[in-house]
Chains A and B, each alone.
Chain A
Amino acid sequence: MTDLAALSSFLVSAVGLAVPLALAALGETVSERSGVINIGLEGSVIWGALGGALGALAMGPYWGLAAGALAGGLAALVFAGFAVRLGTDQIITGTAVTIGSLGFTGAVFQSRFGATGLALELPTVPVWEVPLLSRIPVLGPAFFDQAVTAYLAYAMVPLLGWFLFRTRWGLALRAAGESPEAAHAAGVPVVGTRMLAAVFGGLMAGLAGAHLSLVHTGTFAENMSAGKGFIAIAVVVLGRWQPWGVFAAALFFGGAEALQFTLQALDADLPYPLFLALPYVLSLAALAGWFGRSRAPEGLALPWPR
Chain B
Amino acid sequence: MRALRATPTRLRPGLVATLTATAAVLATLAVAAVLLALGGHSPAEAFAALARGAFGSWDRFVSFTLVRATPLLLTGLAVAFAFRARVWNIGAEGQLHAGALAGVAVALALPGAGAVLVLPVTLLAAAAAGALWASVPAAMKTGMGVGEVITTLLMNFVAMFLAQFLVQGPLRESRGVFNQTDEIPAAAHLPAVLPDTWLHAGFLLGILIAVALWLYLTRTPGGFRIRAAGASVRAAEVSGRFSVTPVIWLSFLASGAIAGLAGWIQIAGVTHRMYEGLSPGWGYTAIAVALLARLHPLAVVVTAIVFGALSAGGGAMQREAGVPEVWVRGIEALVILAVLTADRIVQGMARRAAQ
Chain A interface residues (CB < 8 Å from chain B): 37, 39, 82, 86-89, 91-93, 95-104, 106-108, 110-111, 115, 222, 227, 230-231, 233-234, 237, 271, 273-274, 276-277, 280-281, 283-284, 287-289, 296, 300-301
**Nearest CB of chain B from residue A219's CB, rounded to whole Å:** 18
Residue in B closest to A105 when the chains form the complex, CB atoms: B326
- What are the 10 A-B residue pairs with the smallest beta carbon separation, nearest first? A100-B333, A103-B329, A106-B326, A103-B330, A96-B336, A277-B161, A88-B340, A273-B165, A273-B164, A273-B161
A287 to B169, CA, bound (A): 30
Which one of A101, A107, A231, A281 has the highest number of Cβ atoms from chain B below 10 Å of its Cβ? A107
**Cβ-defined contact, B337 with A93, below 8 A:** yes
A93 to B326, CA, bound (A): 19
> Contact mask B314-355 → A, CB, 8 Å, 1/0?
000000000010111111111011001101100000000000
Tell whether B82 is near chain A: CB-to-CB under 8 Å.
Answer: no
A211 to B175, CA, bound (A): 40
Tell whether B158 is near chain A: CB-to-CB under 8 Å.
Answer: yes
A94 to B311, CA, bound (A): 21
Tell whether B157 is near chain A: CB-to-CB under 8 Å.
Answer: yes
- Identify 6 new A-B residue pairs, CB closer than 8 A, beyond the known A88-B337, A115-B324: A91-B90, A93-B336, A95-B287, A96-B288, A277-B157, A277-B158
Chain B interface residues (CB < 8 Å from chain A): 35, 39-40, 88, 90, 136, 140, 144, 146-147, 149-151, 153-155, 157-158, 161-162, 164-165, 168-169, 281, 284-285, 287-288, 291, 324, 326-334, 336-337, 340-341, 343-344
Other-chain residue from A91, A108, A277, A284 in contact with B136 (beta carbon distance below 8 A): A284
Chain B interface mostly helix, strand, loop or mixed?
helix
Which one of A281, A287, A300, A301 has the highest number of Cβ atoms from chain B below 10 Å of its Cβ? A287
Task: List chain B residues, Cβ under 8 A from A98.
Answer: 284
**Cβ-defined contact, A96 with B328, below 8 A:** no
Contacts A234-B154, A271-B169, A280-B157: A222 and B144 contacting too (C-beta < 8 A)? no
**Cβ-defined contact, A287 with B340, below 8 A:** no
Contacts A107-B324, A107-B327, A234-B157: A96 and B147 contacting too (C-beta < 8 A)? no
**Cβ-defined contact, A82 with B340, below 8 A:** yes
**Nearest CB of chain B from residue A8's CB, rounded to whole Å:** 27
Residue in A closest to B143 when the chains form the complex, CB atoms: A288
Chain A interface mostly helix, strand, loop or mixed?
helix
**Cβ-defined contact, B340 with A110, below 8 A:** no
Contacts A96-B288, A99-B284, A280-B158: A91 and B324 contacting too (C-beta < 8 A)? no
A298 to B340, CA, bound (A): 24
**Cβ-defined contact, A100 with B344, below 8 A:** no
A-B contact pairs, 27 of them (CB 8 A): A39-B153, A82-B340, A86-B344, A88-B343, A88-B344, A92-B287, A92-B291, A95-B90, A95-B336, A99-B329, A103-B330, A104-B326, A106-B324, A107-B330, A108-B39, A271-B165, A274-B162, A277-B157, A277-B165, A280-B155, A280-B158, A280-B161, A284-B136, A284-B151, A287-B144, A288-B140, A296-B150
Task: List chain B residues, Cβ under 8 A from A281.
Answer: 158
Contacts A86-B344, A88-B340: A274 and B284 contacting too (C-beta < 8 A)? no
Task: List chain A residues, Cβ under 8 A from B284.
Answer: 95, 98-99
Task: List chain A residues, Cβ under 8 A from B155.
Answer: 280, 284
**Nearest CB of chain A from residue B79's CB, rounded to whole Å:** 10
Which one of A89, A95, A222, A274 has the highest number of Cβ atoms from chain B below 10 Å of its Cβ? A95
Other-chain residue from B40, B147, B161 in contact with A276 (beta carbon distance below 8 A): B161
